[in-house]
Amino acid sequence: MGLPFIQTMPDTEITEECRALLASVFEPPPGRRLPNGNWRTEIDAATWQQLQRLRLQGESISDCIIRIITIALHKRSLQ
């Protein structure tokens, strides 16, 4: 049996700050740097859907990721 197919959301743009925070907690996401300093990366479909549910109105994907990681790290430090 092969690996399960994981659908990705190509061309997701995240900020340098978001990528740096992700890299400090996890392995740096693969991607390429854009001329504006942001990063183009892929996010798997399940993660994309979860982020869409957690996003606040008007919040970018990067801001949502930063907010979620910050809350998770804060909760972990309180334990």
Instruction: Please tell me the total count of domains within the chain.
Output: 1
What's the chain's average pLDDT? 87
Residue 49 inside a domain? The answer is yes
Mean pLDDT of 21-37: 91
Please give the pLDDT value at position 44: 86
Place of tokens 């390429």: 32
The whole domain housing 16 covers 12-24+44-79
Residue 63 inside a domain? The answer is yes
Residue 37 inside a domain? The answer is no
Mean pLDDT of 45-73: 94
Please give the pLDDT value at position 61: 95
Q: Report, in angstroms and rounded to the nearest whole number, the Rg of the chain calculated over CA atoms.
A: 14
Token readout for 76 is 């972990």
Residue 31 inside a domain? The answer is no
Please give the pLDDT value at position 52: 93
Beta bridge partners of 41: 12
Q: What is the pLDDT of residues 60-74, one digit of tens each?
A: 999 999 999 999 999
Query: pTM for this one?
Result: 0.82
